[in-house]
Amino acid sequence: MKKKRPINILFIASEAAPLIKVGGLGDVAGSLPKALKNLLPNQLSGNELDIRLVIPFHSMINQKLENIQLVSSFLVKHSHGNIPARVFLTSVEGVPVYLIEGGSILSDQNVYSSNPEYDAKKYIFFSIAALEMVKNINWHVDIIHANDWHTAITCYDLKLRKVTDPFFRNTKSVLSMHNMPYMGAGSERILNEFGLPNCPCTDLPEWARSIPLPIGMYAADFLLTVSPNYANEILTPDYGCGLQDFLNKRKDSLSGILNGLDESKWDPKIDNTLHFNYDSTQLDVRLKNKLALQTEFGLEKDDTIPLFIMVTRMDQQKGVDLAISALRMIADSSWQAILLGTGDPVIESACRSLEVEMPSKVRSVIRFDLNLSKRMYAGGDIILIPSRYEPCGLTQMIAMRYGCVPLARSTGGLKDTIIDEDNSNQNNGFLFSEPIPEIMAQTLIRAISDYSNRQKWQIIQSNGLHTDFSWEKSAIEYANIYIDLIEGER
């Protein structure tokens, strides 16, 4: 019997850890292809996957990567003169990775800029070049999996090319939306320069027909969000960013799969940045990490005072302002808080003001600091995540893995991962529904009260520590979608 050929999948993203990581997308693009590659045929209905990743060859990616080879070069059509592209191949943890160089990719020092046209030029070039590369190396791709607006144009270009180019006739596309409000607005002129027409889809609102994410959503065969709950939320006006009517028409081709956590990278048992390592059977050791944290920040050393933490981008999305107001409302209770983050200067300064106002309780650390974040996950009691929207959220999963209990707004992936039910012994955190300081303050008081009951608290911590956030579970769900698409069942 002739052996089935593997299913060929190209995962395309603007960033992927460990080569280059700016945000959560970098974590996903670094972990998911690896998890898919590690699935066994018996987890894939007898299929095998040949998964490869393609990212821009950003200038920060070490040019001296080992085992790097030039595999392809070609021109990308542009109205001001065709743009040369070169593709290099390397391998990261067993996953083949293509790096595309050309256009403004190399000259730019940042992964993302604040100038929409500048990013449009870079990422539309990259999206088109990725498809051109597949043909140039003669690799018959079954599935192209694009991510966010930066690579959504690959889905659109694929749909256009399928009409005339038999090479792509059987290629299907999947588009994951990690952060819907960022759509790539301001790209219209650049799309025209690369010869891409406005999208003809009348189901899309007119304003959306020349914006990369919506037109990628129109062109993709299947749409994904990074949590099941967020997939439902974007069908509503509150979360749909004006595209809810269009998405409701496409809802049979929309699903949500929870992001996993790279459990080998987030493990308090072997994390060498911690003062004291521990596992789920040694929750008392966490208290030593808490005392170390209190010492580091000059807070009263007392393990009975609940220690709140925040580790976050300081962005309107994350609801830091809600947390600040709620903390003010419970100023008379006994608690401490360490707030770590950078971003919007207004939010940063609100955090600094809270510290000035409550010097015995609050510390604000305005920077990005991975090692400190880990010490906080390992020593903090409760992580505050009052997000206004949250496509998936990693911090709650990391925190639970470190025995730090999440207190979060019940939205998006937070709702999918945190259990807070009346009289349940499955609870692993605290949820509140309305983004209103009073409601958050009530939930903080409830958490403080539970914290004082050591036995109850250890059950909540232990439930979090035992929640399965592995990538393997999610990778199987992705693979099933790919297989269904190829077999014409979706």
Binding site for ligand ADP (CB under 6 A): 23-24, 311-313, 340-342, 368-370, 373, 393-395, 398
Comparing CB distances to ligand ADP, the nearer of 56 and 393 is 393
Comparing CB distances to ligand ADP, the nearer of 101 and 148 is 148
Comparing CB distances to ligand ADP, the nearer of 18 and 197 is 18
Comparing CB distances to ligand ADP, the nearer of 74 and 297 is 297
Q: Minimum distance from CB of 399 to ligand ADP (Å)?
A: 9
Comparing CB distances to ligand ADP, the nearer of 103 and 184 is 184
Say if CB 338 and CB 381 are below 8 A apart: no
Comparing CB distances to ligand ADP, the nearer of 95 and 261 is 261
Q: Residue 114: in which H helix or E strand, if any? A: none
Q: Minimum distance from CB of 25 to ligand ADP (Å)?
A: 7
Q: Residue 7: in which H helix or E strand, if any? A: strand 7-12
Decide: residue 248, CB within 10 A, 0-12 exposed, 13-18 middle, 19+ buried: middle
The three-state DSSP-derived secondary structure of 312-346 is EEECHHHCHHHHHHHHHHCCCCCCEEEEEEEECHH
Comparing CB distances to ligand ADP, the nearer of 39 and 320 is 320
Q: Minimum distance from CB of 88 to ligand ADP (Å)?
A: 28
DSSP state letters, 273-320: TSSS---TT-HHHHHHHHHHHHHHTT----TTS-EEEEEEEESGGGTH
Helices (H), 24-115: 24-37
Q: Minimum distance from CB of 202 to ligand ADP (Å)?
A: 33
β-pair type (49-56, 7-12): parallel
Spatial distance between the Cα atoms of 6 and 44, rounded to a whole number of angstroms = 11
Residues β-bridged to residue 8: 50
Report the residue closest to ligand ADP, judged by CB.
24
Q: Minimum distance from CB of 469 to ligand ADP (Å)?
A: 12
β-pair type (222-225, 254-256): parallel
